Amino acid sequence: MGYQNEQTIFALSTGLGRAAIAVMRVSGAGSQALLARLCGRLPAPRRAALRRIWANAATQDNLLDEALVLWFPGPNSYTGEDGFELHLHAGPAIIKAVAEALVAGGARPAEPGEFTRRAFTNGRMDLVEAEGIADLVEAETESQRKIALAQSDGALSTLYQGWAEQLKRALAHQEALIDFPDEDLPPEVEQGLLQNIQSLITAMQAHIQEGARGERIRQGVVFAIAGPPNAGKSSLLNWLADRDAAIVSPIAGTTRDAIEVSGSLAGVKVTFVDTAGMRETEDEIEAEGVKRALFHVKQADCVLQMFAADHAPESVFAGAILIGNKTDLGQVPATVLNEPVMPVSLKTGEGLDALRAVLERRVEALTAQSSFGAPLLTRARHKAGVQEAVACLQAALEQEWPEMRGEELRLAMRALGRVTGQVGVEDLLDAVFGQFCIGK
C-alpha cells in the first residue's frame, strides 16, 4: 500500500513562459477532496475528462478555467499517493488563480524534486532511478537522453542490486563457515567464497574505470584550448561556437579569463574552454590567466594544443590534439615530437572540416560504451559508493578471522545499499532531490 503524505503539494510541471497548456500537478492525502472542491464530480481514474475548474465548485463561485482533468488514485501513481493533474490554459492569470484555489483548499507549493522524493519514499523507484529522472529532464543531447533513460528505467539499479544479491549469498556462505567451523565443510566452500569476492571486486573496478565515460556523457566532454599567445585559440573557440564568444585581436595576451562554450559533437555534450596564451609575463593579471590556463589543461578530458605556423611547441600535453594554425602564412610541420599535427587556417577555413572530424572521433573514443555493454555509472556519488564497497571487499579478503570477514561483507553491502537508497540515506536525500526542478 502506498503511504499518503498528509501534506498535499502542488506545482506547475510545465515551464513558465508563453505556452498553450500548463500542467498543474497535485499529490498527497487531500487530493481527492481537493479535486472535488475544484471541479465537482471526479473523472474515472487515469481517464482525461473535460471539467470546469472553480475556486469552489460547491458554490459555483468564481469560474477559473475549463481544463482536462486526470485523477490518479494511489498507489499506482507516479508518487504512489493520490494525485491529479489539471491541463490548464497557460495564461499566467489562470495559473495564479488556480494556485490560490489550491492553497485555499489546503495544499502547499512543492519543493524542488518533492514529487519524485515521495515516489522514492513509497518504493516506486530507487535513488539511482530517481537521479536518472533528474538527468532525463536536463538532457540536452542524444547520448545524455539515452544514458538517463536507461538509468531511470532501472538498468544501473539492476546491476547494483545484482551485486548486493551476490554479496548476500557470499555472506550466507561465510556464516555457514562460522557456524560449522570444525565440521566437514569441504575446503572448496571457502575457496569458492574467496573467488566470488575476488570476481566481484574485478567487476566493480571495471565499472569504476568505465565510469569516467558515463560521467563525461552526463556532464559533457571538456576540451581545453591551450598554447602560446596569438596562436589563434580564441579564433578557434569562435569557430567552434559559431559566434564571437571571445575577443580576437593581434595583441598577444588578449585572453585572460577562461571562456567556456558548450555545444554538441557526435551527439555528445561538449564544452570548449579558451584560455590565456601561455608565456612568462610580468603582468599580474596575465600571470593569473596563465595559472588558470594550466588548471583547465589539467581538468580537461582532452587538450587542443595550438600553435601558429612555424612556432612549433617544444613539449606536448599528454593525449593532446595538436593544431598548427595559420597555414595561410607559412608551412606547418606534419609532426611535433612524433605526434601528428592538424594543419588549419582559421582565416581561410583550410583544414577545419578535417579538424571537426578528428574532434568527433575523439569524443566518441572518450565516451564509447564498454564492450560488454554494461550500464555506466554517471555520478561521483555512485563512484564513491562502489569504491567503498571495493575497499571493504579487499579488506574481507585480507581477514583471517571469518567473523571479521563477514563484517566487511556486511559493510560492502551497506555501501551499495546507500547508492541505491536501500539503507540509511536520510542525510543524502536533501542533496539528491534538491537538484531537481520544481514540479518533478
Ligand X SMILES: Nc1nc2c(ncn2[C@@H]2O[C@H](COP(=O)(O)OP(=O)(O)OP(=O)(O)O)[C@@H](O)[C@H]2O)c(=O)[nH]1
Contact footprint for ligand X (CB under 6 A): 229-235, 248-250, 252-255, 276-277, 325-326, 328-329, 345-347
Which is closer to Mg ion, CB of 8 or CB of 275?
275
Residues annotated as binding site for (6S)-5-formyl-5,6,7,8-tetrahydrofolate? 25, 85, 124, 440
Please choose which of ligand X, K ion, Mg ion, none residue 8 contacts, taking the beta carbon within 5 to 8 angstroms, the exact cut-off set by kind.
Answer: none
Which is closer to ligand X, CB of 187 or CB of 250?
250
Query: Which pairs with CB-CB distance under 8 Å and at least 24 residues apart come from 35-40?
Result: 35/69, 35/71, 35/84, 37/105, 38/64, 38/86, 38/98, 38/101, 38/102, 38/105, 39/69
Residues annotated as binding site for GTP? 230-235, 249-255, 274-277
Considering the complex, what minimum distance in angstroms separates the CB of residue 336 from ligand X? Answer: 17
Which is closer to K ion, CB of 157 or CB of 230?
230
Q: Does 234 bind Mg ion (CB under 5 A)?
A: yes
Please choose which of ligand X, Mg ion, K ion, none residue 345 contacts, taking the beta carbon within 5 to 8 angstroms, the exact cut-off set by kind.
Answer: ligand X
DSSP string, 307-353: EETT---SS--TTPEEEEE-TTTS---SEETTEEEEE--TTT-TTHH
Please choose which of Mg ion, ligand X, K ion, none residue 346 contacts, taking the beta carbon within 5 to 8 angstroms, the exact cut-off set by kind.
Answer: ligand X
Place of cell 561556437: 241
Residues in touch with K ion (CB under 5 A) = 230, 254
- Cβ-contact 278, 226 below 8 angstroms: yes
Q: Does 255 bind Mg ion (CB under 5 A)?
A: yes
Which is closer to ligand X, CB of 345 or CB of 378?
345
Please choose which of ligand X, Mg ion, K ion, none residue 347 contacts, taking the beta carbon within 5 to 8 angstroms, the exact cut-off set by kind.
Answer: ligand X
Place of cell 572540416: 353
> What is the DSSP-derived secondary structure letter of residue 263?
E
- Cβ-contact 24, 86 below 8 angstroms: yes
Considering the complex, what minimum distance in angstroms separates the CB of residue 229 from K ion? Answer: 6
- Alpha-helical regions (H) of 17-126: 31-39, 92-104, 114-121
Q: CA–CA separation, 109 vs 114, rounded Å?
A: 10
Considering the complex, what minimum distance in angstroms separates the CB of residue 230 from ligand X? Answer: 4
DSSP string, 32-43: HHHHHHHHSSPP
CB atoms within 10 A of CB 219: 15
Residues annotated as binding site? 25, 85, 124, 230-235, 249-255, 274-277, 440
Please choose which of Mg ion, ligand X, K ion, none residue 326 contacts, taking the beta carbon within 5 to 8 angstroms, the exact cut-off set by kind.
Answer: ligand X
Considering the complex, what minimum distance in angstroms separates the CB of residue 345 from Mg ion? Answer: 17
Q: Which residues pair with 66 in a beta bridge?
A: 52
